[in-house]
């Protein structure tokens, strides 16, 4: 398993090997043991699968608050997305900062998003499908979000605002400055060091 750090503490990109031949390919996309060795020791309890018909579809920025906060493992099985995460952890050196990266069915990368981050995406191709594992069940009462186009966050989305396909629910999400105090930063966790100690 190839692991790449990001600029946001505890957020990593993982890439599972693909074994291809004349029939197609095989890939072990998730193994708790393998992921633990790579620094991600999480019990995932639910898989979600989204399909977006059109390029320029934006989903997010979403998160759940405690006690239903979710870690997420995101991958694309068809098409491509610009995946975006925003640090919501008060006291973090990257509080309010975001990072974006392209995930696609071609590159086969997965993004691990810890609890305490908002997550969103924009499709880069028609008929894009995203699968993500989560560490807690969906709870409507704990479902929150922040506006995708908040200028205070300053995400450089690959679609003009008037062309973006956004749900009415996501359009009505609050700005970052209006969010409650849901998460605290507890210091950077080097999962690989902790697990190998």
Active-site amino acid positions? 62, 132
- Please state the three-class secondary structure of the chain as a single string: CEEEECCCCCCEEEECCCEEECCEEECCCCCHHHHHHCCCCCCCCEEEEEEECCCCEEEEEEEECCCCCCCEEEEEEECEEEEEEEECEECCCCCCCEEEEEEECCCCEEEEECCCEEEEEEECCCCEEEEEEECCCCCHHHEEECCCCCCCCCCCCCCCHHHCEECHHHHCCCCHHHCCCCEECCCCCCHHHHHHC
Task: Evaluate the omega torsion of the peptide bond into residue 61 and state whether it is cis, within 30 degrees of 0.
Answer: yes
Please state whether the peptide bond connecting residue 15 to the residue before it is cis, i.e. omega within 30 degrees of 0. no
């Amino acid at each position: 398993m190839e692991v790449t750090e990001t600029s946001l503490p505890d957020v990593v990109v993982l890439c599972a090997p693909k074994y291809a031949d004349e029939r197609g390919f095989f890939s072990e996309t998730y193994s708790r043991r393998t992921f633990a060795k790579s620094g991600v020791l999480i019990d995932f309890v639910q898989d979600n699968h989204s399909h977006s018909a059109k390029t320029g579809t934006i989903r997010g920025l979403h998160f759940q608050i405690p006690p239903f906060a979710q870690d997420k493992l995101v991958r694309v099985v068809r098409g491509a997305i610009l995946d975006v995460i925003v640090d919501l952890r008060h006291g973090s050196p990257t509080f309010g900062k975001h990072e974006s990266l392209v995930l696609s069915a071609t590159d086969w990368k997965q993004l691990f998003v810890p609890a305490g981050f908002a997550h969103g995406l924009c499709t880069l191709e028609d008929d894009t499908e995203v699968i993500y594992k989560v560490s807690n069940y969906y709870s409507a009462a704990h479902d929150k979000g922040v506006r995708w186009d908040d200028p205070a966050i300053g995400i450089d989305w690959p679609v003009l605002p008037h062309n973006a396909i956004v749900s009415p629910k996501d359009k009505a999400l609050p700005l970052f400055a209006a969010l409650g105090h849901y998460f605290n930063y507890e210091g950077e966790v080097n999962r690989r060091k902790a697990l190998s100690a």
